[in-house]
């Protein structure tokens, strides 16, 4: 039996997926990890593999000949450095989304990937969720006709805890949460329509988070912790109202895709609830999801056929594993990509294009909300399917 030996760079929050790769009696095993935190590394050994090699220097991990592939789970602004080093060390790469924080950085990564002869997979786990795979199947079946309009509303409950009490709140680390958070949504729009975005115009601002509090203030040390609506008692969490925060906390993006499809994307980080609501409108009907109740609705319009009498509701089945069962499936796909050259649901170019949309939208917001054209770069000439 073939077995893929994997190393992990970054064992922070997203490393919860590592358990799906560590199968000593299966086709993959996690044998090493690198992180700047000694505490995190020790926790990794305790929870994943007590015999694993650990180091604070990721170059030492990449130098090991017993590691064939690496998963890059580090903060966004470090992806280019780590992915490039991994390819140059001859490793296959799984990179968490977003691929990078600029289009230019993505293009440099794709150049390194092409030169390396190795595999690259992007962590777009929403493509693996039963909800969106069901929607993809309905659209591809032609049930709602040719897609003409897409509306997406993203309510990010606990946005402060997720994104404004750590490194995500600075542009230098993320460019915009239209990359870190919306890269999933832009990718799903591209995937379900089968088209990439050509141009965007966007509005956004920082209306709730940020402010005048000290940059080195942490919630447990704050005299306002008993009354602050964003207070957290984790020693690692910074104040969500500190001065250095400069990333918009609500955004509205208008998009035009190939083929003239119009799409809108709305994101807000200070809502009380968490939900992604997608609506796809075609020439024969409308498709909408309800991720709170795990349902997908199909409504059909008058067409002169039996379809007009048959609105449908799909009940989405629950699957084992994190992120609605998507994480074990995407991890398995990476192993099958490397061991058997089986192509996954995601593509490196798709990773580049979701970043391009986020960057263009951020540029539009910060330069007067004008229209920004999306450059597909030289890789668009050999464009992969969405």
CA atoms within 13 A on the CB side of 304: 0
Q: What is the mean pLDDT of residues 186-194?
A: 97
Strands 147-155 and 262-268: parallel
pLDDT of residue 1: 62
pLDDT of residue 235: 65
CA distance 160 to 239: 9
For the segment 124-135, what is each residue's pLDDT rounded down to a tens digit?
999 999 999 999
For the segment 204-225, what is each residue's pLDDT rounded down to a tens digit?
999 999 999 999 999 888 899 8
Q: Read off the CATH number of the domain in which 315 is found.
A: 3.30.360.10
CA distance 28 to 338: 11
CA distance 110 to 240: 35
> Does residue 259 come out as left (phi exceeding 0), alpha (psi in the -120 to 50 range) or beta?
left
Q: Is the dihedral of CA 74, 77, 81, 86 positive or negative?
A: positive
Residue 222 lies inside a defined structural domain of this protein: no
Residue 141 lies inside a defined structural domain of this protein: yes
Residue 233 lies inside a defined structural domain of this protein: no
Q: What is the mean pLDDT of residues 140-168?
A: 93
Strand order in the sheet with 295-300: 312-315, 295-300, 285-290, 275-282, 147-155, 262-268, 250-257, 197-205, 372-373
Residue 328 lies inside a defined structural domain of this protein: no
For the segment 8-31, what is each residue's pLDDT rounded down to a tens digit?
999 987 778 999 999 999 999 999
Indicate if 172 and 35 belong to the same structural domain: no
Indicate if 273 and 156 belong to the same structural domain: yes
Indicate the DSSP class of residue 23.
B
Indicate if 106 and 161 belong to the same structural domain: no
CA distance 294 to 130: 9
> pLDDT band at residue 232, thresholds of 50, 70 and 90?
confident
Indicate if 81 and 165 belong to the same structural domain: no
CA atoms within 13 A on the CB side of 7: 29
Domain C-terminal end among 81, 108, 125: 125
pLDDT of residue 381: 57
Q: Read off the CATH number of the domain in which 60 is found.
A: 3.40.50.720
Residue 193 lies inside a defined structural domain of this protein: yes
Indicate if 156 and 184 belong to the same structural domain: yes
- The span from the first CA to the last CA of the chain, in angstroms, equals 32
CA distance 289 to 203: 25
For the segment 320-348, what is each residue's pLDDT rounded down to a tens digit?
988 889 999 999 999 999 999 999 999 99
pLDDT of residue 234: 72
pLDDT of residue 305: 74
> 13-17, 83-87, 236-240: which has the minimum mean pLDDT?
13-17
Give the chain's mean pLDDT: 93
Q: To which residue do tokens 């440099």 refer?
A: 108
Cα distances (Å, whole numbers) of residue 339 to 72, 334, 335, 342: 19, 9, 6, 8
Instruction: Please give the residue range of the domain that contains residue 378.
Output: 127-209+245-323+347-382
pLDDT of residue 385: 57
Indicate if 187 and 314 belong to the same structural domain: yes
> 172-176, 216-220, 381-385: which has the minimum mean pLDDT?
381-385
Question: Bridge-partner residues for 150, per DSSP?
Answer: 263, 280
Indicate if 112 and 143 belong to the same structural domain: no
Is the per-residue pLDDT at 383 higher than 60? no
Give percent of the chain above pLDDT 70: 97
Indicate if 201 and 317 belong to the same structural domain: yes
Residue 235 lies inside a defined structural domain of this protein: no
Q: Is the dihedral of CA 189, 190, 194, 195 positive or negative?
A: positive
Residue 338 lies inside a defined structural domain of this protein: no
Helix (H, G, I), strand (E, B) or coil at 323: coil
Domain C-terminal end among 125, 151, 182: 125
Tokens of 128: 């693996």
How many domains is the chain built from? 2
Indicate if 120 and 24 belong to the same structural domain: yes
Indicate if 58 and 154 belong to the same structural domain: no
> pLDDT band at residue 174, thresholds of 50, 70 and 90?
very high
Q: What is the mean pLDDT of residues 176-187?
A: 95
Indicate if 110 and 138 belong to the same structural domain: no
Residue 230 lies inside a defined structural domain of this protein: no
Domain C-terminal end among 125, 144, 170: 125
CA distance 135 to 155: 20
Indicate if 121 and 131 belong to the same structural domain: no
């Amino acid at each position: 039996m073939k077995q893929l030996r994997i190393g992990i760079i970054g064992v922070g929050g997203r490393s919860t997926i590592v358990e799906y790769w560590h199968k000593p009696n299966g086709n993959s095993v996690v044998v090493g990890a690198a992180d700047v935190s000694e505490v995190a590394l020790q926790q990794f050994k305790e929870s994943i593999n007590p015999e694993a090699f650990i180091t604070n220097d990721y170059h030492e991990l990449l130098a090991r000949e017993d590691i064939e592939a690496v998963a890059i789970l580090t903060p966004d602004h470090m992806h280019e450095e780590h992915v490039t080093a991994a390819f140059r060390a001859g490793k296959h790469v799984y990179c968490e989304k977003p691929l990078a924080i600029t289009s230019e950085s993505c293009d440099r990564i794709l150049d390194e990937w092409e030169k390396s002869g190795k595999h690259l997979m992007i962590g777009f786990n929403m493509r693996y969720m039963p909800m969106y795979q069901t929607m993809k199947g309905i659209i591809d079946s032609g049930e709602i006709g040719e897609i003409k309009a897409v509306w997406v509303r993203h309510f990010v409950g606990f946005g402060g805890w997720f994104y404004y009490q750590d490194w995500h709140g600075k542009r230098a680390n993320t460019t915009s949460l239209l990359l870190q958070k919306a890269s999933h949504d832009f990718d799903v729009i591209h995937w379900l329509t089968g088209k990439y975005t050509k141009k965007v115009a966007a509005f956004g601002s920082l209306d709730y988070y940020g402010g005048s509090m000290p940059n080195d203030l942490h919630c447990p040390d704050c005299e306002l912790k008993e009354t602050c609506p964003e207070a957290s008692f984790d020693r690692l969490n910074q104040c969500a109202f500190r001065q250095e925060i400069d990333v918009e906390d609500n955004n509205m993006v208008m998009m035009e895709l190939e083929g003239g499809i119009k799409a809108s994307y709305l994101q807000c980080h200070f809502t009380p609830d968490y939900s992604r609501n997608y609506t796809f409108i075609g020439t024969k009907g409308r498709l909408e999801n309800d991720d709170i109740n795990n349902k997908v609705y199909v409504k059909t319009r008058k067409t002169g056929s039996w379809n007009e009498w048959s609105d449908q509701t799909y009940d989405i089945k629950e699957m084992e594993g994190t992120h609605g069962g998507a994480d074990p499936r995407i991890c398995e796909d990476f192993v099958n990509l490397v061991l058997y050259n089986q192509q996954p649901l995601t593509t490196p170019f798709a990773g580049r294009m979701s970043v391009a949309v986020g960057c263009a939208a951020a540029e539009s917001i910060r330069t007067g909300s004008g229209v920004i054209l999306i450059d597909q770069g030289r890789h668009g000439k050999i464009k992969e399917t969405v």
